[in-house]
């Protein structure tokens, strides 16, 4: 007698069901869009915003190759080729601008990039949940303050009668009060330190999220093998978040010519100009203060091209070293 068995539990019955011969990929796409219409509208608004404010203005970049005047339209402006780029390379301010930009950005990269990783590693080792949340909250708070607010706070602290001078004089580390923002030699230290203070906790969030995805079994295996906390950080946690570190490093290298314009604009003054004149501020000054729109556009385009080259180099290097890349 033939043994007829019922389908096993979990076996799909879809092959037995008739298919809708009228369905098509396009119909399926519209059905998914309709089911997710609220999320799609939210995403669509972001796309429209990017097109309006990021892509449409890119047409105006051609003024870098023209002699643009606000009296005439962009189309009417005469072509001058690479004239403005040559002027920038021969400008008396070129060396100073590049020195300040690269100096501040490279120090931020070599010091400011690994610090959030180290902070996240140590924060992950804290066992007390209450203490951990307190440290996280304190470290996140400066990120939510604008540089206008923080700049005012720093200007007050670093003034002749500020708290920094009071502390240093009380400890007999200085004899006379120092106006730190009026001294070019202190400007880079102030910029780098304040930037790390503001963004350290916030930058660590991505690394903490990556660490949270590490399997506990790997830590248990390391414990059985006799690994201590620092050995677990080095041999378990860091290799597990290597891909995240690589991607963020690529983005950091591509932005090495960005010197945080808001921070520079708030903290700079005529007294520290020799140390605070970076590309972003120079573009702003030449474009709006002197009205040399084509010249400032050429400098901005020069910076973007260098950033693209750095992005490609960093992407190629990380891909060769650990097989991780953006594209």
127-185 pLDDT per residue, tens: 888 999 999 899 999 999 999 999 999 999 999 889 999 999 999 888 899 999 999 99
Number of CB atoms found within 10 A of residue 164's CB: 16
Average pLDDT over residues 77-100: 93
Label residue 18 exposed, middle or buried (CB < 10 Å: 0-12, 13-18, 19+): exposed
Assigned CATH class of 83-322: mainly alpha
The terminus-to-terminus CA distance of the chain in angstroms comes to: 62
Range in 26-40, 101-115, 211-225, 235-249 the model is least confident about: 26-40
Q: How confident is the model at residue 11 (pLDDT cuts 50, 70, 90)?
A: very low
Q: How confident is the model at residue 70 (pLDDT cuts 50, 70, 90)?
A: confident
Domain ranges of the chain: 21-65, 83-322
Average pLDDT, the chain: 87
- Predicted local distance difference test score (pLDDT) of residue 23: 52
- Predicted local distance difference test score (pLDDT) of residue 259: 80
Nearest to 270 by CA among 195, 206, 203, 184: 184
Asked whether 198 and 86 are in contact (CB, 8 A), the reply is no
Whether the pLDDT of residue 283 is over 50: the answer is yes
Cα atoms in the 13 Å half-sphere on the side-chain side of 148: 0
Q: How confident is the model at residue 22 (pLDDT cuts 50, 70, 90)?
A: low
Nearest to 87 by CA among 64, 68, 62, 71: 64
Whether the pLDDT of residue 204 is over 60: the answer is yes
Distance from C-alpha of 75 to C-alpha of 80, rounded to nearest angstrom: 13
How much is the CA Rg of the chain, to the nearest whole Å? 28
Whole-number percent of the chain with pLDDT over 70 = 92
**Residue corresponding to tokens 């070129």:** 94
Exposure class string for 229-244: b at 16+ Cβ within 10 A, else e: eeebbeebbeeebbeb
Whether the pLDDT of residue 5 is over 50: the answer is no
The secondary structure element, H or E, covering residue 252 is helix 242-254
Give the three-state DSSP class for 50: helix
Whether the pLDDT of residue 51 is over 50: the answer is yes
Distance from C-alpha of 278 to C-alpha of 264, rounded to nearest angstrom: 8
Whole-number percent of the chain with pLDDT over 90 = 59
Distance from C-alpha of 59 to C-alpha of 49, rounded to nearest angstrom: 16
Nearest to 304 by CA among 9, 64, 72, 27: 64
Range in 103-107, 195-199, 254-258, 305-309 the model is least confident about: 254-258
Average pLDDT over residues 193-201: 93
The beta strands (E) that lie in 144-301 are given as: none
pTM, to two decimals: 0.81
């Amino acid at each position: 007698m033939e043994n007829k068995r019922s389908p096993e539990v979990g076996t799909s019955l879809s092959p037995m069901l008739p298919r809708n011969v009228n369905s098509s990929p396009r119909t399926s796409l519209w059905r998914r869009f309709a089911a997710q219409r609220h999320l799609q509208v939210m995403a669509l608004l972001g796309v429209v915003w990017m097109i309006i404010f990021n892509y449409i203005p890119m047409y105006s970049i051609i003024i870098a190759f023209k002699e643009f005047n606000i009296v005439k339209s962009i189309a009417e402006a005469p072509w001058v080729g690479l004239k403005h780029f040559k002027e920038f390379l021969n400008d008396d301010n070129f060396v100073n601008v590049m020195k300040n930009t690269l100096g501040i950005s490279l120090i931020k990269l070599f010091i400011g990039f690994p610090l959030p990783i180290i902070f996240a590693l140590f924060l992950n080792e804290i066992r007390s949940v209450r203490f951990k949340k307190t440290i996280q909250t304190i470290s996140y708070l400066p990120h939510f303050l604008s540089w206008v607010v923080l700049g005012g706070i720093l200007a007050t602290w670093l003034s002749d009668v500020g708290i920094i001078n009071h502390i240093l004089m009380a400890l007999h580390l200085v004899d006379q009060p120092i106006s730190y923002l009026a001294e070019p030699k202190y400007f880079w230290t102030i910029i780098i330190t304040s930037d790390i203070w503001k963004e350290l906790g916030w930058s660590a969030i991505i690394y903490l999220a990556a660490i949270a995805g590490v399997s506990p079994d790997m830590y248990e295996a390391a414990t059985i093998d006799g690994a201590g906390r620092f050995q677990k950080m080095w041999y378990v946690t860091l290799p597990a978040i290597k891909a995240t570190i690589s991607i963020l490093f690529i983005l950091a290298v591509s932005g090495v010519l960005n010197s945080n314009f808001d921070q520079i604009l708030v903290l700079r003054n005529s007294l520290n100009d020799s140390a605070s004149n970076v590309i972003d501020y120079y573009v702003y000054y030449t474009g709006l203060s002197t009205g040399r729109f084509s010249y400032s556009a050429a400098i901005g385009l020069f910076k973007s091209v260098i950033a693209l080259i750095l992005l490609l180099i960093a992407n190629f290097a990380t891909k060769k070293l650990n097989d991780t890349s953006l594209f």
